Structure 1
Amino acid sequence: MSERDGAPIALTAAEMTDPVALLDRVGTDSPVHKVLLPDGMPGWLVTGYKEARRALSDPRLGRSDEHAGPDLKKYLALYNDEFFRHSMVFNDRPRHTRMKQLVSQAFTPRYLENLRPKVQRITDGLIDGIVAAGETEVIESLAVPLPNSVICDWFGVPMNDREEFRYYCGVVTGLAVSTDENELGAAGKYFDRYLGELIANRRVDGDGDDMISAILHGQEDNATLSDIELRANIFLMLTGSVETAVNMIAGGLLALIRNPEQTARLRADPSLVPQAVEEMLRIDPPVATVAYHFAKDSVAIGDVVVEPGEHVVISMPAANHDAREFPEPGRFDIDRQKPHLSFSHGIHFCLGAPLARLEGEVFFTTLLDRLQDIELAVPESSLEWKPSYYVHRLMALPIRYTASTARG
């Protein structure tokens, strides 16, 4: 019996974020599987690395809901919201290209390198705040404050607004598991209103050195975005940059705790930290599932032909653990060279990837310099993850450590 003829496999959120459990459930005989997502939405789940890479860059798979079959419309809550549907992540060429031309200026190498001293200062301050205590909960003390402070400073989000901003970001990432459609609608209204006010203030000020001001100056020279597109894409940059880095920091630190021999190598040679960050991203992708690809035409993926209107879902954990491409995929190995897919591929490659890498490099270099003997403060079996199949977010990561007697 072919994959097309068989019954779909109903997956849980926990299975979709755990590559071992997922591949045990769907098998490895085929790189494409007929599934039901945790919210019941049908789709073809791509678990093979090569197949995922091709699918992510195949123009016959569109992100716009105009290509989705009628039976899928009831699952597309994000598209139903007038705010979210105007971000480039839900659009195809040429609209995607038009949007990306302007907002990509936020992540040029020059801008990012100018951020390095700020990332270092924020990291130093956060570790100053916990170093003497000997223990901390990483999510609240380090993983959230670092990228939240970096990106909110960069985009000029006032300090008093950041807690509410963070709350609504959590609502969006819980889509289809811990978030219902009413909550999603409230989040869309909040971001639409709040970012509209923030942009209006920047237009009045006129001379700010934050990224929203830079984007507005770009609009003056070449007005490529409508007002709602401007708000929706600034939302995308803000939330995506924070969520990716939070999960990378927490998941990466857990990987180091689990692999003391690799950690010792990094302490001995900090120049290895950038490649260690890549392995952290591979072994535990911050964004686990890339859903909402719809076939415009018949598309062959692996041994399956996806018909027009059908839904294709990419599993980042499974693709990054494809044993055909990554020998012993569950082993944390900072010497791996093959690129992972954790930042996607093709035209929807994550714009915030260079920022996440910069934050990871600075954070882990500094942490390993200042803290020794890092270990879990609770049994690993007690760790819990956010109920979501889109992101892989630890709810808490309590650790113990000692302060380094000498700093590099």
Structure 2
Amino acid sequence: MSPQSAASSAEFADAPPFPRRRVCPYEPPAAYTELSERGPINPVTLWNGRQVWVVTSYALGRALLSDPRMSSDRSRDEYPSMAPNLSAEAARKLVLVGMDPPEHDVHRRLLSPYFGLKQARAMRPAVQAIVDELVDDMLAKGPVADLVADFALSIPSRTMFALMGIPDDEAEFFESVTSGIMQGADAEGAQQAGARFVAYLDQLVAAQEQAPGSGLIGELARLVVSGELDHAELVQITMVLLIAGLETTASMIPVGALVLLDHPAQLRGLQAGTVSLPVAVEELLRLAAVTDFAAIRWAKEDIEVDGHRIAAGEGVVVSSPMVNRDSAVHDDPYAFRIDRGSRKHMTFGYGIHQCLGQNLARLQLEVAYETLFRRIPGLRLAVPAERVTVRPVGTMQGVRELPVTW
């Protein structure tokens, strides 16, 4: 059954638009709460008229993301495109994140040794040096600063460059092309950004294959030389790692900072050391997930769940902000409780496609918030909270800028 014919059933008669723009950068739109109150799985309509299922239950989300009948294959028409830019070929034909087993498993096994907890902890001195330098620059310039442009954007890009062996002076280019793909207004713009990205990476990877360096690209280039990996695969792997590593963390840092600034009493507890950074970061990840979808899948065959039939070819979206606020899992789930510390959230997804770089992401968030609020203890918003500009509906929720003073 095709996606369009599958979506024509009576169950899709009331399928509200999804995703929606946030009013508050870290709270889901009211329409999402209304949707979740209907039940754990409901129909919604995407930007292109495609109708899919959205899951708001933590337990059901985990069950479906563990089900081998659900596919992540982005090359197929059945895979739901969540925004115009994501319909571009550059955003669909991606190794690792857009593949099913066994191809997915090969790349996952290849990369996992570089993204474990031990490897992330080894990056702490480098991340600390990056964050300290950015805070130095902010203090030298003096207030007002923008926590997006002056702080958040550079932390993940410079961290990933240090990990992968890419020169720091390429940061502006990488930030431009990754945001062009993930935040572009349309498919054409995303495709153009993707083409520029691939052309650059093609040359970068080829140079590493001739003379492998000490970073991750150099390590993987040695596998190309030995015949265990091919050139095109390495280009794609590099692209996926950089997109995933830059956009999500750069979006999360300022949104998490805004949550803390909006809850000064709890922030003081963090500054006083009564709450540990890992515990605080876990609650920020739960509450302020910067994507509206923890996972996107399509059914390879009919699946019966909670009295609904997901027909073969139909799309399924697991909603990050709503599964993270499931009252069956968390008491008072809409409240920010800095000491909650629960890892029962899907901000990094779940199952075989759970985010490979989550240890490194957590490390960057911990260092960013600890350093920022320790070295600038009087940090506060420079504009009223209601004037903070929220991004339009797209792949990444977040803020365009976050003016702060001290």
**TM-score by shorter chain over 0.5:** yes
User: What are the superposed Cα offsets for residues 240-283 of structure 1, whole Å, 9 maximum, x if unpaired?
Assistant: 11112112211110111011111111111176111101111111
Among 301, 307, 322, which residue is 2:305 paired with? 301
- Letter of the aligned partner of 2:98 in structure 1? F
1:194–1:83 distance in 2 versus 1, CA, 3 Å: farther
User: What are the superposed Cα offsets for residues 294-350 of structure 1, whole Å, 9 maximum, x if unpaired?
Assistant: 101112333322000001111101111122222222211122225211000001100
Counting only pairs closer than 5 Å after superposition, residues 318-329 of structure 1 correspond to structure 2 as 318-329=322-333
1:159 matches 2:154: no
* SS of the residue 2:378 aligns to: strand
1:45 matches 2:17: no
1:199 matches 2:205: yes
Q: What is the Cα deviation at residue 96 of structure 1?
A: 0.4
Question: 2:82, 2:395 within 8 Å by CA — same for their partners in 1?
Answer: no
1:352 matches 2:360: no
Instruction: Give ranges in structure 1 of 5+ residues lacking alignment.
Output: 402-408
Distance 1:128 1:324 in 2: 44
Distance 2:260 2:81 in 1: 42
Q: What is the Cα deviation at residue 9 of structure 1?
A: 1.3
Question: 1:106, 1:215 within 8 Å by CA — same for their partners in 2?
Answer: no
- TM-score where L is the length of structure 2: 0.89
Counting only pairs closer than 5 Å after superposition, residues 354-393 of structure 1 correspond to structure 2 as 354-393=359-398
- Letter of the aligned partner of 1:267 in structure 2? Q
The more displaced of 103-112 and 371-380 is 103-112
Q: What is the Cα deviation at residue 20 of structure 1?
A: 4.3
Aligned residues, how many?
394
Distance 2:199 2:328 in 1: 48
User: What are the superposed Cα offsets for residues 342-378 of structure 1, whole Å, 9 maximum, x if unpaired?
Assistant: 0000011001110111111111121221111222111
User: What are the superposed Cα offsets for residues 41-94 of structure 1, whole Å, 9 maximum, x if unpaired?
Assistant: 321011111111222222111011466549x69989757627851411111010
Distance 2:294 2:185 in 1: 17
1:54 matches 2:63: yes
User: What are the superposed Cα offsets for residues 107-162 of structure 1, whole Å, 9 maximum, x if unpaired?
Assistant: 13343222111001111111111125143110011111111111123223233432
The more displaced of 269-278 and 357-366 is 269-278
Counting only pairs closer than 5 Å after superposition, residues 258-337 of structure 1 correspond to structure 2 as 258-269=262-273, 272-290=276-294, 292-336=296-340, 337=342
Distance 1:20 1:383 in 2: 16
Distance 1:236 1:327 in 2: 36
Distance 1:386 1:233 in 2: 28
1:356–1:385 distance in 2 versus 1, CA, 3 Å: same
Question: 1:171, 1:184 within 8 Å by CA — same for their partners in 2?
Answer: yes
* SS of the residue 2:316 aligns to: strand
* SS of the residue 1:235 aligns to: helix
1:31 matches 2:35: no
- Runs (4+) of structure 1 exceeding 6 A deviation are 72-77
1:29–1:97 distance in 2 versus 1, CA, 3 Å: same
- Letter of the aligned partner of 1:4 in structure 2? E
User: What are the superposed Cα offsets for residues 14-44 of structure 1, whole Å, 9 maximum, x if unpaired?
Assistant: 0598424232442413111111123433210
Instruction: Give ranges in structure 2 of 5+ residues lacking alignment.
Output: 1-8
Distance 2:97 2:243 in 1: 13
* SS of the residue 1:54 aligns to: helix
- Look up the match of 1:4: 11
1:183–1:9 distance in 2 versus 1, CA, 3 Å: same
* SS of the residue 2:389 aligns to: coil
Let me know the Cα RMSD of the aligned residues: 2.6
1:380–1:73 distance in 2 versus 1, CA, 3 Å: closer
Distance 2:81 2:295 in 1: 14
